[in-house]
Chain A
Amino acid sequence: MWARWLAACLLLLVSAGLMAGEQEFAVERIKLVRDIAQLTRASAAETGRPEINPAVLAAMARTPRHRFVPIDQQHYAYHNRPLPIGYGQTISQPFLVALMTDLLEVKPGDRVLELGTGSGYQAALLAEMGMQVYSMEIVGPLATRASQTLAALYPRGVEVRHGDGYYGWEAHAPFDAIIVTAAASHVPPPLVRQLKPGGRMVIPLGASFLIQQLVLVEKAADGRISSREIVPVRFVPLTGEH
């Protein structure tokens, strides 16, 4: 009998601990979202976006980033910084994730292709916003881990596939938006084909832990392709301009 009592007490304690932990994470998450909203206003001139779409911020406030990082990094999950997730990959800085998601200009029900699932956080955020996300990851263990985490949190809305994303995901094309988080020397021609007219593609460029600029590729209604390079910070390289 006493053993049952002990087990029940332990279970209660662990649950209480977890709930307290989850509550703590939720508080940190809200604070992070507030910080991002503030930082966005400071970078409005450069990014062309005076504020992040409230739907993106609301989704961020709900998406548990700590579930997508290794346990030893959970303490930093709501710090506005990139984190290592193993296999030489990182989960991007939250400010940049918010900006990239905002640049996609997606609405609920849109189909989004993600190349480079990584931790799965970006896909989770899009799923939280009501998109149908198709995500491809070339590194097997990362694909498995992200797939499991996403399946537990978002049983519908995200499909993860382990494989080469160069040829996109023809079966679900065309896409309203594409996000290419895996480094590439060029945009694969099949991806441009799989982007809907009026669709948008976002490509972050830079080294691990250091995204330098974002490239927004737009496909006009007539199929014409153009791009915009976005430096996420206000940094005028020339001093004392006239």
Chain B
Amino acid sequence: MPTLPLLSIALISCAALGLEILLMRLFSIVQWHHFAYLAVSLAMLGYGAAGTARVVLGARLHAHFSQIFAVSALLFGLTAPAAFLVAQQVPFNALEILWDARQWLWLTLQYLVLFVPFFFAAFCLCLAFSHFGSQAHRIYGADLWGAAAGSLLALGLLFILPPQRVLLVIAGFALAAAGLAWPPPRHQVGYVLLLAAMALPWVIPDTLLALHPSQYKSLSQTLLVTGAKVKTEKYSPLGQVTVVENPRVPLRYAPGLSLTATREPPPQLGVFVDGEGPAAITRFDGAWEPLTFLGQMPSAMPYQLLQRPSVLVLGAGTGMDVLQALYYEAAVVDAVELDANVAALVAQDNASFAGQLYQLPQVRLHVAEARSFVATSSARYDLMVLPLADTFGTASAGLHGLAADYLHTVEAFRIYFCQLKPGGMLALNRWVQLPPRDLIKLAATAVEALVLEGVTQPARHLALLRGWQSATLLVKQTPFMPREVAALHDFAESQAFDLEWAGGRVAGAMPHHRLDRPYFQEAFAALSGTAHERADFYRRYKFHIAPPTDDRPYLYHFFTWRALPEIMQLKERGGLSLVEMGYPVLVATWLLAMLFGTLLILLPLWAARRRAMGTRTASQRRRVFAYFSLLGMAFMLLEMAFLQKFVLLLGHPLYAAAAVLTTFLLFAGMGSRFSVRLSVKGRRSPTLWPVVGIVSLGVGYLTLQPLMLEAAMGWPMLQRLALGIILIAPLAFCMGMPFPLGMARLAGEDIEMLPWAYGVNACFSVMSASMATLLAMEIGFSGVVLLALGLYLATPFFYRTQSADGRYS
């Protein structure tokens, strides 16, 4: 009788979750970030397929458990890097997906190639569950603890190794799992595998592992220009940062520079994050004359009203907005940047090129998440700047549509207003997209925030300056005065910009940049109305422009299903640019995953209906299906919702991801181990108490969370982290119990159903990970939590029904 390979199970789970996180990173680099969801659905497909394979192959596997388990682990280790290398050769072009039907075939092929390692990982777990069913709680515990370690491991390694190297480390973990589980008498194979696991990350040459980003990414195109070369490359879980220099054809980046400008910007270095950009590090040698372009962009607008202001730049990046503030003689500039690698490019690596910008006495650099910096700062500012952070192409294609953004929500704006000095203002720089989307959404966000601050005529606090390509929206704490409007008007005329709106009315001058209709003036006039009129305007607009909130923090999400048919009819006339790409791509990958996943769940029902489930009625099978699918969905929806909620508490998306994933999995693992005490004979519904616990704690958090967040925002990081763990731990502990309780019951009554039930659960949990984002866009994170609690509430019903007639059904 083989022994339960708990350590190998933990290692496999560790590697599988690590691979999932890593693929999200790799997809962001070679494609665009919304394809990261593909990684999540790939895992789902793997788990579903593994459950199928185990059921179809039947009990004959038991005789060779150890060998099959070890070989599966070995294949997982080998296919993890191989599948990615093969997938890179598939000529899939995401940008052509709405034009060329063949791209769907390429996407499917890529998908099928990448699912293979997940299949082998999941097959190991399915085998273990079916072979050691009575110890389901121990297997599930090891699975969760391994996954917890995997999330930390992947995030940690991404700080110190290039992502393609991390892929090999992860493969090494899988090989180690195979080595440890390799059965006697061939121990030497196991030793060889352990050695290979240690050597693998270091012996494969870089050339074999090279990433091949899409040729349509900005970095790929920039590197094609004669003279361009990569100067620096850095990596972290936040992104791969690349600096490109080109002495022959220097970068010249000046978004929306006035058409009347006569002088070009000085030479710049291009900075790309995950191949997207560029942002520019501008050469500065202490002389201001070469920087006149900084006064000829719409972003110079607020400085026409302020004398030696104190400025806060939220998302300072490569420092152009800091330089602009200094150009206008700012007294103090606080530059906040999330990514330490990006900050270091200006502060250290290219400090002399950038004129020691971040070392100047007026400038203070803070590597921090912008919103929590503002919330915890005691300083007050004349001006807060939210810079233009993406490219026109990225913005117009809607490639950030799925990204949660807590810097541009009603709640965030209210925090900003509190930190402004009297008469201070907030400047938001954006590209001009037509028909307008983000600029109107931002104006709406400002209006709703001002209303909540007690302002009765919020439109009087807004001013919009539009150039031919970029625009700046100013939101002032107090209404714009006539002399301020006049100053803005003078600036607009001097640079041939258009002052669309200022101080509650249309500026009215003859436009320098004509539109086919006065989109912005119409929208701002609508935003001047009552709450009811504004709500009606949001509803009638064909893009999603309702203000983002912390519960639905999607600034770049403009997609509406009702506009889709009209847009598709305009395809022949170039209308496809009106579709925000991220959202339909997420829906498409999710549907693809659903299709394959569902097939793989239904297939075993058909293929092995006599052997595995022949004694059950269809209704009884449905109940097993319902119990495990509901658990899978509910667990993942709660986990994803908490992950987003904790970004605000912990002030950093990475800390949130690491803390939430690890705490959830760790304590759910403990719950799983504890669950064996609940499943004593005679207890009718052992799942009831854990579910009651989950629902009570969930409702409690929903009610108290806003208050807790507000109270804890100013705490030191360690205390906030401790609070996060204290909040999650009991919930996760309860969430870890229902699954092993169900598995234990199945094991006692029909062990052949175990792998199928495991596949169903895993399949639905991974599917829910991408569904959580779609749902959050529609019903908010609180809605997602409530939905998950509702699903949990339903589970005891199916568990109870199973035992009501004395049979497991």
Closest B residue to A89 using CB positions = B221
- A35 to B93 CA separation, bound complex (whole angstroms): 27
Q: A95-B574, A228-B514, A239-B542 are in contact. Are A207 and B95 (CB under 8 A)?
A: yes
Cross-chain contact B513 with A237 (CB below 8 angstroms): no
Q: Is A55 an interface residue (CB 8 A)?
A: no
Interface members, chain B 401-439 (any A CB < 8 Å) = 432-436
Interface members, chain B 692-714 (any A CB < 8 Å) = none
Cross-chain contact A238 with B264 (CB below 8 angstroms): no
Q: Digit string of A207-220 for contact with B (CB within 8 Å is 1, else 0)?
A: 11111110101000
Stretch at the interface among A18-26, A59-67, A77-85: A77-85
Q: Is A17 an interface residue (CB 8 A)?
A: no
- A189 to B570 CA separation, bound complex (whole angstroms): 35
Cross-chain contact A235 with B516 (CB below 8 angstroms): no
Closest A residue to B392 using CB positions = A205
Q: Is B207 an interface residue (CB 8 A)?
A: no
Residues of A within 8 A of B96 (CB): 84, 209
Q: Digit string of A104-147 for contact with B (CB within 8 Å is 1, else 0)?
A: 00000000000000000000000000000000001110000000
Cross-chain contact B512 with A227 (CB below 8 angstroms): yes
A166 → B minimal CB distance (Å) = 6
Cross-chain contact A93 with B574 (CB below 8 angstroms): yes
Cross-chain contact A210 with B514 (CB below 8 angstroms): no
- A238 to B221 CA separation, bound complex (whole angstroms): 37
Closest B residue to A88 using CB positions = B215
Residues of B within 8 A of A9 (CB): none
Cross-chain contact A139 with B257 (CB below 8 angstroms): no
Cross-chain contact A80 with B572 (CB below 8 angstroms): yes
Which of A42, A45, A46, A185 contacts B254 (CB under 8 A)?
A185
Cross-chain contact B513 with A226 (CB below 8 angstroms): yes
Q: Is A16 an interface residue (CB 8 A)?
A: no
Q: Is B260 an interface residue (CB 8 A)?
A: yes
Q: A185-B254, A210-B397, A231-B435 are in contact. Are A225 and B260 (CB under 8 A)?
A: yes
Q: Is B468 an interface residue (CB 8 A)?
A: yes
Q: Digit string of B460-495 for contact with A (CB within 8 Å is 1, else 0)?
A: 000000001100000000000000000000000000
B566 → A minimal CB distance (Å) = 7
B255 → A minimal CB distance (Å) = 5
- A57 to B527 CA separation, bound complex (whole angstroms): 44
Cross-chain contact B435 with A237 (CB below 8 angstroms): yes
- A96 to B224 CA separation, bound complex (whole angstroms): 26
Which of A140, A226, A235 contacts B575 (CB under 8 A)?
A235
Q: Is B249 an interface residue (CB 8 A)?
A: yes
Q: Is A13 an interface residue (CB 8 A)?
A: no
Q: Is A87 an interface residue (CB 8 A)?
A: yes
- A217 to B225 CA separation, bound complex (whole angstroms): 27
- A69 to B573 CA separation, bound complex (whole angstroms): 20
Q: Digit string of A180-211 for contact with B (CB within 8 Å is 1, else 0)?
A: 00010111111011000000000001111111
Q: A207-B397, A228-B514, A229-B514 are in contact. Are A212 and B257 (CB under 8 A)?
A: no
Cross-chain contact A209 with B99 (CB below 8 angstroms): yes
B253 → A minimal CB distance (Å) = 5
Q: Is B722 an interface residue (CB 8 A)?
A: no
Q: A48-B516, A190-B264, A210-B95 are in contact. Are A229 and B496 (CB under 8 A)?
A: no
Q: Is A27 an interface residue (CB 8 A)?
A: no
Q: Is A174 an interface residue (CB 8 A)?
A: no
Cross-chain contact B514 with A192 (CB below 8 angstroms): no
Q: Is A233 an interface residue (CB 8 A)?
A: yes
Cross-chain contact A227 with B95 (CB below 8 angstroms): no
Q: A207-B396, A210-B577 are in contact. Are A227 and B572 (CB under 8 A)?
A: no
Q: Is A164 an interface residue (CB 8 A)?
A: yes
Residues of B within 8 A of A42 (CB): 573
- A187 to B264 CA separation, bound complex (whole angstroms): 10
Residues of A within 8 A of B394 (CB): 207
Cross-chain contact B575 with A186 (CB below 8 angstroms): no
- A232 to B537 CA separation, bound complex (whole angstroms): 24
Q: Is B615 an interface residue (CB 8 A)?
A: no
Q: Is B689 an interface residue (CB 8 A)?
A: no
Q: Is B152 an interface residue (CB 8 A)?
A: no
Q: Is B202 an interface residue (CB 8 A)?
A: no
Q: Is A53 an interface residue (CB 8 A)?
A: no
Cross-chain contact B249 with A138 (CB below 8 angstroms): yes
Q: Is A230 an interface residue (CB 8 A)?
A: yes
Q: Is B231 an interface residue (CB 8 A)?
A: no
Cross-chain contact B540 with A240 (CB below 8 angstroms): yes
Closest B residue to A93 using CB positions = B574
Q: Is A149 an interface residue (CB 8 A)?
A: no
Q: Is A74 an interface residue (CB 8 A)?
A: no
- A193 to B260 CA separation, bound complex (whole angstroms): 10
Cross-chain contact B570 with A205 (CB below 8 angstroms): no
Q: Is A11 an interface residue (CB 8 A)?
A: no
- Among A82, A190, A217, A229, the most chain B Cβ lie within 10 Å of the Cβ of A229
Cross-chain contact A187 with B257 (CB below 8 angstroms): yes
Closest A residue to B264 using CB positions = A189
- A226 to B260 CA separation, bound complex (whole angstroms): 9
Cross-chain contact B434 with A43 (CB below 8 angstroms): no
Q: A81-B99, A227-B259, A232-B574 are in contact. Are A239 and B252 (CB under 8 A)?
A: no
Cross-chain contact B95 with A208 (CB below 8 angstroms): yes
Closest B residue to A217 using CB positions = B259
Q: Is B515 an interface residue (CB 8 A)?
A: yes
A46 → B minimal CB distance (Å) = 5
Q: Is B62 an interface residue (CB 8 A)?
A: no
Q: Digit string of B539-552 for contact with A (CB within 8 Å is 1, else 0)?
A: 01111000000000
A94 → B minimal CB distance (Å) = 10
Cross-chain contact B543 with A237 (CB below 8 angstroms): yes
Closest A residue to B255 using CB positions = A185
Closest A residue to B513 using CB positions = A227
Q: Is A39 an interface residue (CB 8 A)?
A: yes
Cross-chain contact A235 with B570 (CB below 8 angstroms): yes
- A204 to B482 CA separation, bound complex (whole angstroms): 37
Which of B226, B254, B573 contacts A138 (CB under 8 A)?
B226
Cross-chain contact B392 with A206 (CB below 8 angstroms): yes
Cross-chain contact A39 with B573 (CB below 8 angstroms): yes
Residues of A within 8 A of B468 (CB): 187, 215, 217, 227, 229
Cross-chain contact B574 with A188 (CB below 8 angstroms): no
Q: A185-B254, A228-B514 are in contact. Are A235 and B540 (CB under 8 A)?
A: no
Cross-chain contact B469 with A186 (CB below 8 angstroms): yes
Closest B residue to A138 using CB positions = B225
Closest B residue to A94 using CB positions = B572
Q: A166-B264, A225-B259, A240-B540 are in contact. Are A206 and B393 (CB under 8 A)?
A: yes
Interface members, chain B 194-237 (any A CB < 8 Å) = 214-217, 220-221, 224-226
Cross-chain contact B225 with A139 (CB below 8 angstroms): yes
- Among B253, B394, B434, B542, the most chain A Cβ lie within 10 Å of the Cβ of B434
Residues of B within 8 A of A229 (CB): 432, 434, 468, 513-516
B530 → A minimal CB distance (Å) = 16
Residues of B within 8 A of A86 (CB): 215
Q: Is B727 an interface residue (CB 8 A)?
A: no
- A183 to B95 CA separation, bound complex (whole angstroms): 16
Q: Is B715 an interface residue (CB 8 A)?
A: no
Which of A80, A84, A192, A205 contacts B396 (CB under 8 A)?
A205
Residues of A within 8 A of B7 (CB): none
Which of B393, B396, B542, B575 contacts A233 (CB under 8 A)?
B575
Cross-chain contact B469 with A215 (CB below 8 angstroms): yes
A36 → B minimal CB distance (Å) = 9
Ranked nearest first, the 7 interchain pairs of A and B with the lowest CB-CB distance are A186-B257, A207-B393, A88-B215, A207-B397, A212-B577, A210-B577, A237-B435
22 pairs, CB–CB < 8 Å, chain A vs chain B: A42-B573, A88-B217, A95-B572, A95-B573, A139-B224, A185-B254, A185-B469, A186-B252, A187-B257, A189-B262, A189-B264, A205-B392, A206-B393, A207-B393, A210-B95, A225-B512, A227-B513, A232-B574, A233-B573, A233-B575, A235-B435, A235-B578
Other CB < 8 Å A-B pairs besides A213-B433, A236-B435, 19 of them?
Answer: A48-B516, A84-B96, A88-B220, A88-B221, A164-B248, A186-B469, A188-B252, A189-B257, A189-B263, A192-B259, A206-B577, A207-B393, A207-B399, A226-B514, A227-B259, A228-B514, A229-B513, A232-B574, A235-B578
